[in-house]
A and B are shown apart, each in its own frame.
Chain A
Amino acid sequence: MIHSLFLINHTGDIFLEKHWKSVISRSVCDYFFEAKEKAEDPENVPPVLYTPHHYLVSIYRGKLFFLSVIQTEVSPLFVIEFLHRVADIFQDYFGECSEAVIKDNVVIVYALLEEMLDNGFPLATESNVLKEMIRPPTILRSVVNTLTGGSNVGDTLPAGQLSNIPWRRAGVKYTNNEAYFDVIEEIDAIVDKSGTTVFAEIQGVIEACVRLTGMPDLTLSFMNPRLLDDVSFHPCVRFKRWESERVLSFIPPDGNFRLMSYHVSSQNLVAIPVYVKQNISFLETGACGRLDITIGPKQTMGKMVEGLKVTIHMPKMVLSVNLTATQGTHTYDLTAKVLVWDVGKLNPQKLPNLRGSLSMQSGAPKPEDNPSINMDLKIQQLAISGLKVSRLDMHGEKYKPFKGVKYLTKAGKFQVRT
């Protein structure tokens, strides 16, 4: 199982190490640095590496590498999933998962890592359970702590780990009982040059924020559950109930959590909310190129498209751009060669347009391929698949909770080839 963990920043400094079995020298990371060197881009570092005596499994998140050392056979996904869970917990505790934050809270981080694994095997990975043992820092508490010298290690012993519902702590109390569900759908699509959809599918998640007193038992049902092609659940959801009745029945964890994620099959026709008319060309002679992009609404179901953003990774030889936008702002990162056009709201009456010229390194050959366009967008109050929550019922508790459902459609990996 997991032997040791090293946290490494993007410049290659090991700033935290933790061993769950005997100590392994940090020189083992040299193999990793070698691979990192070779890969250039940190994203390209292979997640699984081997060295003569150890195996290294790493993830890259928030400009940090979480590198774990393995000595014997174990499912690599097991380790990867766990490392991501560690990063999630840090995020949950400190609001972000960065080197500075981890260094500031090193004692809490250490206490967390200590509780999360025993002898390399995950012990407590539920944030609800961990928070009972180790309290997350708040401004007030950190002030108190500096005065009293206390840390955030809880002095009560958790009960959650022992119950049959490990994800929920006992004795939750709220004055305002509320349960909010966000249905968030992302459109993954590849649109080709001519505007035809090569591939499109919808990935959805239901994020929940449940603050309910006691031990509520919730049932969430949909108007059209047949839409959902493939689902995965938080462990609290009862599989059998879903299989037989297509409703989500669960005792929720306290606070924010992802209730389910689903997939709407690519067999269904996916509505593409916008179209992009583009023309990017590089001239054979003279070191310049031309760019002209127009975005217009396609199938928006009568809703406003917001947060429209276009990102283009330009070829290396594009030195600078000289563009004018009818709407929004655009920036060009000279070192990363990334053009970002922040459009904002899409006005169907006056379509946003970006046009101008690109200046290129002289003498360099014309790029083979036009860069593809990545789109970002948001549509409030719409689930593009048409999924609708029909009702939420609560059993087990007497009070009436405040309930709410929000829908949001976003562009996921939405790419237009040019």
Chain B
Amino acid sequence: MNGSLSSLRSEAVGAMRTMLVSAESLQLTLKPELSQEEQALTHTSSKAKETHKARNEDLKEMLESNKESLKLEAMKRIVGLISKGKNASELFPAVVKNVASKNIELKKLVYVYLVRYAEEQQDLALLSISTFQRALKDPNQFIRASALRVLSSIRVPIIVPIMMLAIKEAASDLSPYVRKTSAHAIQKLFSLDPDQKEQLIEVIEKLLKDKSTLVAGSVVVAFEEVCPDRIDLIHKNFRKLCNLLVDVEEWGQVVIINMLTRYARTQFTSPWREDAMFDENNEKAFYDSDSEEKKGQADVKTYIMDPDHRLLLRNTKPLLQSRNTAVVMAVAQLYWHLAPKHEVSIVTKSLVRLLRSHREVQYVVLQNIATMSIQRKGMFEPYMKSFYVRSTDSTHIKTLKLEILTNLANEANISTILREFQTYVKSQDKAFAAATIQAIGRCATNISEVTDTCLNGLVLLLSNRDESVVAESVVVIKKLLQTQPNQHSDIISHMAKLFDNITVPMARASILWLMGEYCERVPKIAPDVLRKMAKTFTVEEDIVKLQTVNLAAKLFLTNSKQTKLLTQYILNLGKYDQNYDIRDRTRFIRQLIVPSEKSSTLNKYARRILLASKPAPVLESAFKDRDRFQLGTLSHSLNIKTSGYQELSEWPAVAPDPSVRNVEVIEPVKEWAPSVGKAKQSKSEDKFYSDDEEKEENASDSSSSDDSDSSSSSSEESGSESEEESNEESEKTSSDSGKSSSESETEPKNNSKKATRKKKPADSDSDESDSKASSSSAESSSSSVSDSDDDSEPPAPQKKSNVKARPKVEVKSKKEVSLLDLDDFSPAPMNAPKPSVFSPSLLSDLEGLSLSNVSSAMQVTTPSFGPMKTFELLHHMTGKGLSAKYHFPRQPCLYQPSMVSVQVILTNGSDHTLEEIHVGDRSPASLHIHCFNTIERLEPRASVTVSMGIDFSDSTQAANFQLCTKEDQFSVSIQPAVGELLMPSTMTEADFCKEQKKLLGMNETSATITMTTANTSSQTINKQVLSVANVGVAPSSQNNFHRFAGRTVSSGALVLVSLELKESSSALLTINTEKSIMASMLLQDLKQALTEA
């Protein structure tokens, strides 16, 4: 007491001094008071408590002064008190006043205090609330976030409604950082008041939809804490989480991976089935249509992994390279619990790597490896040497390594392991040496080939000087002998000889038990041992006494002549023993073996009872039953079920509906965060565009039949897969994963696709192989061409890389042009060319994107394109053999955003070569045209496709220009249909309505049209509208309402088309746009298309 008081006092004095110094340096007039205090402190220790109080008084004064620096000093000291766990709660009123301070330093320290003591001073804490409420509205996101952090950390039940409100607001904050904070606040509020659960789940649901990587980890933590059983909330976010995973911060990755593991076990079927024919070729299932996937699942014989299951495995794999050991462990357990058996081994290397980390990390990782190595020896066998023990390892690490080595032992490596064990047995760490002996025992029982060797080795150890080693050996030998007692009477007699020198009770007891059990094999020695025991009985340990009684009884039954008196003597000693167990046992044995009148029946069976053959003990790993816990968890580490542990469910027999994970296409919200890195920036832009593209693609999908489907979707695939392939190439060299094999198994149907893909250069910018690629793809795609002839041809969404001025030599008829283009399509970014540095990561991002969008395509009522119209530009009669046709490929123009891109197909119909085909004069002179590069030569019967950009300035006025060859000039003109002057734009229904409201009155044009009922399906309508105008489909909640949105190419004015179906096949067609001339023209065109169809 005195000591602690004086230490307190000296501490107080020290603090006083420092304060004095600072006070002096500030030239304050506080000095006289302080020195008084100081004197009081130094003199009497009994006043320590008082002075402590006085000191706080002093702090209070400092806090109430006007000087900021004094306040700060006081707060610093208070924080010091808090950190030491001392009570500073009586300062609350003084501190709380400073909560509104302008000084950020001071404010932060006040927050620390507030969070610590608010719970104890609830009424006073309320004083600070209004400050936080104000700060929640601050324009600076950091201030908003920190206000929410502190507000939610104040554990005062009365402000629960305020917190709830603040959380809800913050959850829709523009700043992802604030949203992240709100996710943390959810858990805090939940622990404060679990009744808010329902409302909080709503917020969680909302935040789960968040696309920011900052938020993802935190909201999953909240989900795990508040409503881990609401697995349904994850469905729609599953793919997004998988795709975001790599970019989430490391701590978030851990929780997300753990949660997804649990999720996957409820949603997918087991990949471990015995008869499972591993369809490694699941890339197919991945991209193919829904129907096919379902078929695969219905077919029980062949197991096809759910594409989402594969997605999860694939996207977590790179995280094995994380520097964060927890992330690596999380991925390892995910593979362990979810991956097909043959894929699990890819985690081995990374786990072994973790053994280089800190001691504590090693401990946990070794525990997990121990559990894994029981079930799957093969996984770690190649790394056996990494588990060799070093003398500098700490004891529990040594024991774990030993455990693993024992688990890994098999016929092939046992000799190496035993040699290693021999070194360990000699270790100075005796506990470890004893553990090694047990390990040897386990190896001996598990591998029958070495049992004898081990036994001999152990017998040698019996002469070891260290007692604990000997004792352990005896115990292990006892167990081993039990498994095969026949040949080993010499060992038993050897042990009997050692008996006098062994003092460890357990070992003595073991020897006695062995004697009794096999007394018939050592008929001479056993009675002698009993004789010795009779002498020392009273001084033995209880366990030895019990075994002595046992031995006596057994000998009495087998050899009563020699031992009758000895037994009686021992039984008498036992009868008066201090331990009741021994007295009990003695009484029991006496009744059993000594014949008397009463107990005759039992007596008969005494022999059978005592000398029954006993089953041999099984030596098992201590980690045998740990596999009931999910790997990597606290429960697994401790081998007890911890609170909050979520069981990993068994695989479902039948997979729940996979379509729940499909998501509607939502316009990706642009990341709010200022993107600093180029890579990131370009990524978000990619997302933006490629979504649009995908949509177009989907449009063509649904309009055409299956066959052309495969060809058109190939375009989509070729892009993402080319990335895949480049990955694979590198993977092939590395030994792991069966992925490389998957490639070669691609189904024949996709052969054509594959061929094109192969030819495709990974970098879309490289133009050297353009012509080669296109010609070869022409050949390879010929099969699908013939199939799709009768189908409406989807317009070719083309890529800038191909549209490059470099012309393509066309051998086939023009119909295939679009097909070729499709094949060449790759979802590389649309905007400014990227430095190739980024391409891999870009493509990978896109890969993720295309995945999610494939699925969405299945669900969303997709827009469709009508037949692409090709127009005559130059007839071969007028063009002296040169003919030209053009069409609008409907994609953003590369050269300038305000241009409409036009593709021109030039064919040489003459019998001589045409040279220097180029664009000449144009009219009106102001017309902006981006011409194609001059074509040097065009062979007879050959044709070439070139692309141009024309700025029509949102008018349908024809663009006139001259098409020149070396000899001639031909005036041609391109007259665009009004619908081609538009660009599709994506918007939500709400946005659509909002925009529409702005464009009323003058800007609205409408007409009532009559449609045949056959044409009123949304499919047909979409098809018809899109055939006329290049617009995007906007979602509509009503069935009878169809909405389309677009922008004019040059000026970007909004064009909104809505079609309201009325009864009796009439419909109201409305167009809202500022461009009233365009509106009326478009109306005309649409009207015609819709009524005609």
Taking Cβ atoms with an 8 Å cutoff, the residues of A that contact B are: 1, 14-19, 21-23, 26, 39, 41, 43-44, 46-48, 50, 55, 58-61, 70-78, 80-82, 84, 106-107, 109-111, 114, 118-119, 121-123, 125, 146-151, 153-155, 157-159, 161-166, 168, 170, 188, 190, 192, 198-199, 201, 203, 215, 217, 219, 226, 229-235, 238-246, 249, 251, 258, 261, 263, 266, 313, 315-316, 365-369, 371-372, 374, 395-396, 413, 415, 417
Contact = CB atoms under 8 A, between A and B. Distances in A.
Contacts of B679: 238
A243 B730 contact: yes
B251 A121 contact: yes
B395 interface: yes
Interface of B: 21-22, 25-26, 68-70, 72-73, 76, 79-80, 82-85, 103-105, 108-109, 111-112, 116, 119, 140-143, 149, 152-153, 155, 175-177, 181, 184-185, 187-188, 191, 213-214, 218, 221, 225, 246-247, 249-251, 254, 258, 318, 321-326, 328-330, 349-350, 352-353, 356, 358-361, 363-365, 383, 385-386, 388, 390-392, 394-396, 420, 423, 426-428, 464-466, 632-635, 637-638, 640, 642-646, 671, 673-680, 726-727, 729-731, 733, 835, 837, 840-841, 844
Contacts of B678: 217, 396
B635 A73 contact: yes
B841 A73 contact: no
Which 9 A-B residue pairs are closest in the complex by CB-CB distance? A72-B644, A149-B69, A369-B426, A47-B360, A199-B385, A77-B326, A164-B680, A122-B251, A153-B105
B729 to A, nearest CB: 8
Contacts of A81: 324-326, 361
A274 to B, nearest CB: 18
Given A81-B324, A162-B177, A229 B396 contact: no
A219 B638 CA distance: 44
Contact of B726 (A17, A70, A229, A244): A244
A372 B112 contact: no
14 contacts: A23-B119, A46-B363, A74-B634, A75-B258, A75-B330, A81-B325, A121-B184, A149-B22, A153-B108, A232-B321, A235-B250, A238-B679, A243-B727, A415-B391
B76 A157 contact: no
A23 B359 CA distance: 29
B806 to A, nearest CB: 26
B177 A230 contact: no
Nearest to B153: A119
A215 B676 contact: yes
A114 to B, nearest CB: 6
B465 A365 contact: yes
B134 to A, nearest CB: 17
B8 to A, nearest CB: 14
A80 B358 contact: yes
A107 B76 contact: yes
Nearest to A417: B423
Contact of B176 (A26, A46, A122, A162): A162
Contacts of A366: 465
B394 A258 contact: no
Contacts of A39: 395
A310 to B, nearest CB: 14
Nearest to A78: B326
Contacts of A19: 116
B385 A198 contact: yes
Contacts of A71: 643-644
B254 A232 contact: no
A280 to B, nearest CB: 13
Given A149-B70, A241-B841, A261-B323, A75 B79 contact: no
A73 B395 contact: no
Contact of B634 (A48, A150, A238, A413): A48
Contacts of B254: 75, 78
Contact of B83 (A17, A59, A70, A217): A17
B249 A77 contact: no
Nearest to A153: B105
Given A77-B364, A81-B326, A371 B394 contact: no
A254 to B, nearest CB: 13
Contacts, number: 306
A284 to B, nearest CB: 11
Given A146-B22, A164-B676, A165-B677, A369 B427 contact: yes
Contacts of A240: 318, 727, 840-841, 844
Contacts of B321: 231-233, 239, 242
Contacts of B82: 110
A234 B851 CA distance: 28
Chain A interface helix/strand/loop/mixed: mixed
Given A72-B644, A155-B105, A232-B322, A48 B638 contact: yes
B5 to A, nearest CB: 17
B326 A15 contact: no
Given A50-B638, A245-B840, A369-B426, A239 B83 contact: no
Nearest to B142: A157
Contact of B181 (A14, A78, A118, A266): A118
B353 A230 contact: yes
Contact of B251 (A125, A239, A261, A316): A125
A239 B105 contact: no
Contacts of B365: 77
B730 A163 contact: no
Nearest to A156: B104
A76 B729 CA distance: 37
A61 B105 CA distance: 30
Contact of A368 (B111, B322, B466, B633): B466
A368 B396 contact: no
Contacts of B149: 118
B643 to A, nearest CB: 5
A23 B69 contact: no
A372 B324 CA distance: 33
A243 B390 contact: no
Contact of A17 (B85, B323, B676): B85
A149 B634 contact: no
A42 to B, nearest CB: 9
A48 B637 contact: yes
B391 A244 contact: no
A43 B427 CA distance: 18
B676 A165 contact: yes
A313 B358 CA distance: 21
A368 B646 contact: no
Contacts of B349: 229-230, 263
Contacts of A148: 69
Given A72-B643, A106-B83, A369-B426, A266 B677 contact: no
B428 A371 contact: yes
Contact of A162 (B104, B363, B638, B674): B674
B668 to A, nearest CB: 15
A198 B837 CA distance: 44
B642 A73 contact: yes
B108 A22 contact: no
Nearest to B67: A149
Given A48-B364, A77-B364, A78-B254, 18 more contacts: A59-B359, A107-B76, A107-B109, A110-B79, A125-B250, A151-B72, A155-B104, A163-B676, A165-B676, A168-B676, A188-B356, A226-B733, A231-B321, A235-B250, A244-B726, A266-B383, A368-B465, A369-B426
Interface centre among A153, A226, A366, A413 (most CB of B within 10 A): A153
Contact of B116 (A23, A44, A72): A23
Contact of B329 (A26, A77, A123, A246): A77
A215 B730 contact: no
Contacts of A80: 325-326, 358, 360-361, 364
A110 B776 CA distance: 67
B464 A76 contact: no
A73 B629 CA distance: 12
A46 B639 CA distance: 14
Contacts of B141: 162
